[in-house]
Structure 1
Amino acid sequence: MNKQLIPCLYLHSEKAVTGFGQRNLFGDGNVETLAKFYGDNGADELLVFDFSSADAEHDRAIGKIRDICQASEIPVIAAGNIKRMEDVKKLIYAGCAKVVLNFSKENNIKLLEEVSRRFGKERMMISISDLREFTENQDLIETYADTVLALDTVENEIAEISQISIVLHTDENRSENVLELLGEPAVSGLCGAYVSSLENDLHTFKETCEEAGIPVNTYKSNIAWSDFKLNSDGMVPVIVQDYRTDEVLMLAYMNELAFNTTLKLGKMTYWSRSRNELWTKGLTSGHVQYVKSLTIDCDNDTILAKVEQVGAACHTGNRTCFFKPLMKKEYDDINPLHVFQNVYDVITDRKEHPKEGSYTNYLFDKGIDKILKKVGEECTEIVIAAKNPDKEEIKYEISDFLYHMMVLMVEKGVSWEEITKELVKR
């Protein structure tokens, strides 16, 4: 099993810090940016501690955790200030993959079975600061939790009596000591000061782990470079697509060094034929391309890269290099996601720029009760249509429902991206 590297964020009242250098990120609005940065740069999961006190602060912290979950493409684990079922529910609904119950608190021990049965054992992590907290509750933990977060160096003692997965939280800052801890058979993951401080060097640290024989998640190719069919310059062309929209962004070339550097850094790296040098996209401009997948074609001579594009792909400042139309035959775009987003955008525009006589503006003017009434009516129409053997009627009614549902989404500020992210999690 590959070992996990898990940076930490700590929410303190109106501030959020990484725990390393106590960097204030909350006031600057950069918490989400940092969470996303960790995911793009080699972190496997993200652990967020809520150290807020009063209920109002706790609600704001949960809101901030929701923002972090939306920005992060790696699983988010929430810890701290969990007192009741409602706290767990809010964190799970906010998008957290797991929640941490602190077993130094009696109410958390009593809470585990209930929340595990409701939300699933795989979502439960137990924090242990003393071996006694584990031994006195071992059967309960093993039955209803998935992982132990060891806040003190008790991982080996737990491993002697249990097979449960253990993530070790440590303030250790020396790389050789951290490697030794991560290399322990009992440890399935590591979080704390050292991992949080690595930032740009997570990929490099993973290389060090592999050299030490510690299995970690890295980018590896299923096909050796020697099996690629190269062009006369010893390179392969790379077609680059946005991983969310499939928009074609650019075409570039890789030699073996560029290919291996891409795998090492997790950022698209090419060989510049004009400058005759290695070129990591965005190194100077900031328009980085984070690798999501690399696929080779049937002849092994062209790579398709799906990336997360930061900023513009083209040197002209355009999002894509392919922006000069040559010819176009009119056609209907029936890509479902494109259609949904286009209708959503039209509805949004109606809300922002009302148009006289618009039915959409009529719904917005009447308010949420009218919108909800229409959504309910359309649901009923679907039920009635479904009893009809002719599928044309149900297609019409579902389309009507989807339109009114999108009016509701716009009214409540819910985007298709948020919906699709939630569906993916399920």
Structure 2
Amino acid sequence: MNYKKLVACIYILNGKAVKGFEAGKLIDENPIELAHNYSDNGADEILIFNLSNTDTAHEQTISIIKQITQIVDIPVLSGGHINKMEDVKKLLYAGCSKAILNFNKPENVKLLEEVSKRFGKDKIACAVDYSDLLESKENMLINYASEIFLFNIELLEDLKKDITLPVIPVMKYNSLEEMRLYLKNTIVSGVANTNMDNLGLDYMELKKKFQEDNIPMNILKSKIAWTDFKLNSDGMIPVIVQDYKTDEVLMLAYMNEEAFQKTLSCGKMTYWSRSRNELWTKGDTSGHVQYVKELLLDCDNDTILAKVSQVGVACHTGNKTCFFQEIMKKEGQTANPLKVFEEVYKVIQDRKSNPKEGSYTNYLFDKGIDKILKKLGEEATEIVIAAKNPDAEEIKYEISDFLYHAMVLMVEKEISWEDITKELATR
């Protein structure tokens, strides 16, 4: 990584986002919405502090973390309430890229080596607050952790200049100058600001300011110069906008150079309105913002494909997409594998919510989890048997049966295809 990170902080207590460790000071957004907002607005990572003081509250927080990791596109790290290997396992299985051990707890010093060997050094970070820990346990940190979160800024001077671990100071920065000061420190790989909301700035705006001060930041940069685009007679280029998750085409708009550069600068799709003859950032008035995920140029250099995270709807009519008026449609089965999986999954979901007499799916749900697992095991065995047969058609049939029963299990356990694909994508 050749840039400095800006890490957003979320403190969760009893299912609510609170202001730091001072429990009870609630903020308006719930933790899931807050995380989504941080992700869309340019944070590089999200650091979640689990302030649970009961096992029930802890499990509630784990559930919230799982929901957060499913909707954001940046790494999520979490610490707090970690006392044993099982706690680390739950966080990683919930989708966290790293679990953060409180290195001030003597029992966690011993736990560090254990979880690092079990899950990998890259999955473990440590929170440090005391200088004697740095001096006496530095080798352990280097051998078994991948990152240090520093909660005592005075310790920054105690760290060796040649330390190999990334260091993230976690503190309440009250000004941009204060953040800039620490970002310029050579051993600091980023900052986690527990006071970001009070500064009233989004992360893309911050990154732009720091980049201008020669601090390398993770900003949007075009690999192709505007002068290489083939423009129309009005000096603009058409932009096809697509949902980055579903690939659904949302709208068509136009950019001039000013709109293109503004899009890169703020991270939100910005266009040139030909009817009003002015620049407009999608969502400024409606709230239906389009956060940039990817920009692609076609083979003729005359059309941009923008993949976005769409808030609300894209069309001024209230429809999700501007392309909702069907002109014609040839009947036939969809060839998109993911759509097939999603459609079958939805049918199974509907059978559970709206039972249909004589339905085999409802028979499985009625019999319960043991029956579903028994059938899944039987179908797995059938695949093994079919694999011994030189005829591949039999294997297709048995795998299809297995996937159907796997989807019944997924619906029963409330696991979606999005959960599965996101998990696979991280491996």
TM superposition score normalised by structure 2: 0.96
Q: 1:20: Cα distance to partner?
A: 10
Aligned position for 2:113: 113
- 2:86 alignment partner AA: E
Change (3 A) 1:387 1:395: same
The reply on whether 1:346 has 2:347 as its aligned counterpart is yes
Aligned position for 1:65: 65
Aligned position for 1:233: 234
* SS across alignment from 1:271: strand
Aligned position for 2:141: 141
Aligned position for 1:176: 177
State the alpha-carbon separation in 2 of the partners of residues 366 and 39 from structure 1. Answer: 42
Aligned position for 1:403: 404
* SS across alignment from 1:319: coil
Does the 8 A contact of 2:69 with 2:95 survive in 1? yes
* SS across alignment from 1:63: helix
- 1:384 alignment partner AA: I
* SS across alignment from 1:238: strand
Structure 2: 5+ residue stretches without partners = none
Aligned position for 1:31: 31
State the alpha-carbon separation in 2 of the partners of residues 361 and 253 from structure 1. Answer: 50
- 1:80 alignment partner AA: G
Task: Return 349-358 or 37-46, whichever deviates more.
Answer: 349-358
Change (3 A) 1:6 1:378: same
Aligned position for 1:78: 78
The reply on whether 1:276 has 2:266 as its aligned counterpart is no
Aligned position for 1:266: 267
Change (3 A) 1:238 1:198: farther
Written as runs of structure 1 = structure 2, the 5 A alignment for 1:245-394 is 245-394=246-395
The reply on whether 1:4 has 2:11 as its aligned counterpart is no
Q: How many residues align?
A: 424
Q: 1:199: Cα distance to partner?
A: 6.1
Does the 8 A contact of 1:7 with 1:47 survive in 2? yes
State the alpha-carbon separation in 1 of the partners of residues 180 and 195 from structure 2. Answer: 11
State the alpha-carbon separation in 1 of the partners of residues 239 and 362 from structure 2. Answer: 46
State the alpha-carbon separation in 1 of the partners of residues 276 and 388 from structure 2. Answer: 67
Q: 1:112: Cα distance to partner?
A: 0.7
* SS across alignment from 1:159: coil
Does the 8 A contact of 2:166 with 2:189 survive in 1? yes
State the alpha-carbon separation in 1 of the partners of residues 15 and 321 from structure 2. Answer: 39
Alignment RMSD (CA, Å): 1.7
Does the 8 A contact of 1:351 with 1:364 survive in 2? yes
Q: 1:400: Cα distance to partner?
A: 0.5
Change (3 A) 1:410 1:323: same
State the alpha-carbon separation in 2 of the partners of residues 140 and 353 from structure 1. Answer: 56
* SS across alignment from 2:205: helix
- 1:190 alignment partner AA: V
Post-superposition Cα deviations, 1:208-241, rounded to whole Å, max 9, x if no partner, equal 1011110010001001111111100010000011
Structure 1: 5+ residue stretches without partners = none
Change (3 A) 1:136 1:218: same
* SS across alignment from 1:160: coil
Q: 1:139: Cα distance to partner?
A: 1.2
* SS across alignment from 1:187: coil
Task: Return 124-133 or 332-341, whichever deviates more.
Answer: 124-133
Q: 1:116: Cα distance to partner?
A: 0.4
State the alpha-carbon separation in 1 of the partners of residues 305 and 183 from structure 2. Answer: 35
Post-superposition Cα deviations, 1:175-223, rounded to whole Å, max 9, x if no partner, equal 1121011111110010022445456521111111011110010001001
Q: 1:6: Cα distance to partner?
A: 0.5
Aligned position for 1:164: 165
Post-superposition Cα deviations, 1:238-293, rounded to whole Å, max 9, x if no partner, equal 00111111111111000011101111111111000001111111111111111110
